[in-house]
Structure 1
Amino acid sequence: MFKKSYFIPVFILFVLAMSCGETPTPKPKAYLRLSYPEAQYSTVNLDVPFTFQKNNFSNHVGLKKMPGLDNYGVNIEYSNLKGTIYLTYKSINEDSKNLIEYIKDAQNFTQKHTIKADEIAEQVYINNERKVYGMFYEVGGNAASQSQFYVTDSVKHFLTGSLYFYAKPNYDSIFPAAKYLEKDIKHIMETVNWK
């Protein structure tokens, strides 16, 4: 009887001692810490009606003539990031009637991502000095393209761009690369010069 009376208090003290400690706190979301080189830009002057600056970290720029008068596709590949920025240039008719169609197509293309996107943030871009006006779209979530834009001079030139990765969209996995390339896309918008 003497042994049993000590067992219960010792057991209770043991349980209390084990339960003491810091109160658990929830941890914030974590992302992979991937480091990319600081962006160094150079001007790309292809046989197209515009110039722009690209990040030297990209390893290939491809150009192809598309159907239609003065329509071009430019691909800026980042094989280390398994991604490509696709640029599409279209000329505007003299009466500017196709400009509205081009803008609607660019906006509808972005809105198609609402099925998988968590959000689509829009940023207006205006540069009166270079006559470059447009919109940048940041697409959050597991959408196929995380960044898109269009710019125009409203008279002769119209350029769209979008970012795609060569992988199934998983926003958590591609987030660091998407943010890095988002800066490159904005830099392309900011450095477009019409010829």
Structure 2
Amino acid sequence: MFKYIWSFIGFSVIVYSCTDNPIPKPQAELRLEFPQASYHTISLDCPFDFQTNVNASVTSKGDCSMLIEYPKMNATMYITYKNIHQDLDLLLRDAQKLTYEHVAKADNITEQPFVNTQGDVYGMFYAITGDAASNSQFYLTDSTNHFLTGSLYFNAKPNYDSLLPAVVYLQNDIRKIMESFRWKYPN
């Protein structure tokens, strides 16, 4: 009798061990779809114009500083304008310092120079990868009278992997701002 019980147990072990091991399914990825980017010119009572996404709302803060808000992405771009009073070096150092304050949380900071000699617009675009508070920053200047900085922030805990699709979308908007940027009162 014990012989039959042990045979049954042995047979059961063999049958159950021949099935494939269960493999955990990967977690589903969030599919984010953003509207096709379409741009219009922002023209305020400031010494510059540029194009911005029609899905963003622009709020002037006076003195030609502004907020460009993306409510569907829970993101805000802070734009600050300053006149140059023989302090271009200080303004450039401040813009670079603001960017490199994120180095503690950043995996990498990529600098991309921007030069438009016809429009007298020069600047730098910073793409910041990693869990930094800001993933994109830039500055633009004519090198003599005008200086503008921009910083992109999400109203969420920094998680670069989760924010990456929105970061890429908004970095394209920043590039459009830089490429379309024009000084109204050229020197």
TM tier, smaller: 0.7 to 0.9
- The answer (yes or no) to whether the contact 1:132–1:152 under 8 Å persists in 2 is yes
* Equivalent residues in 2 for 1:101-120, closer than 5 Å: 101-120=90-109
Selected match of 1:152 from 138, 141, 159: 141
Map Cα deviations across residues 1-30 of structure 1 (whole Å, 9 max, x no partner).
541563365245325412x479x6996x97
Give, in angstroms, the shift of residue 31 of structure 1: 4.5
- Unmatched 5+ residue regions in structure 1? 67-71
The TM-score with structure 1 as length reference comes to 0.83
Change (3 A) 1:36 1:17: same
Change (3 A) 1:170 1:8: same
RMSD between superposed Cα atoms in Å: 2.3
Alignment partners' CA distance in 2, 1:9 and 1:30: 39
Map Cα deviations across residues 61-104 of structure 1 (whole Å, 9 max, x no partner).
111234xxxxx3111111121111111111122xxx31111111
Alignment partners' CA distance in 2, 1:7 and 1:163: 68
The TM-score with structure 2 as length reference comes to 0.86
- Number of aligned residue pairs: 183
1:194 match: 183
- The answer (yes or no) to whether the contact 1:32–1:176 under 8 Å persists in 2 is no
Alignment partners' CA distance in 2, 1:84 and 1:73: 13
1:69 match: none
Does residue 1:39 correspond to 2:50, yes or no? no
Alignment partners' CA distance in 2, 1:45 and 1:155: 22
Paired residue secondary structure (2:65): strand
- Unmatched 5+ residue regions in structure 2? none
Give, in angstroms, the shift of residue 189 of structure 1: 0.7
- The answer (yes or no) to whether the contact 1:31–1:172 under 8 Å persists in 2 is no
Alignment partners' CA distance in 2, 1:118 and 1:15: 47
Letter in 2 for 1:79: P
Alignment partners' CA distance in 2, 1:49 and 1:11: 83
1:65 match: 62
1:13 match: 14
Alignment partners' CA distance in 2, 1:115 and 1:15: 52
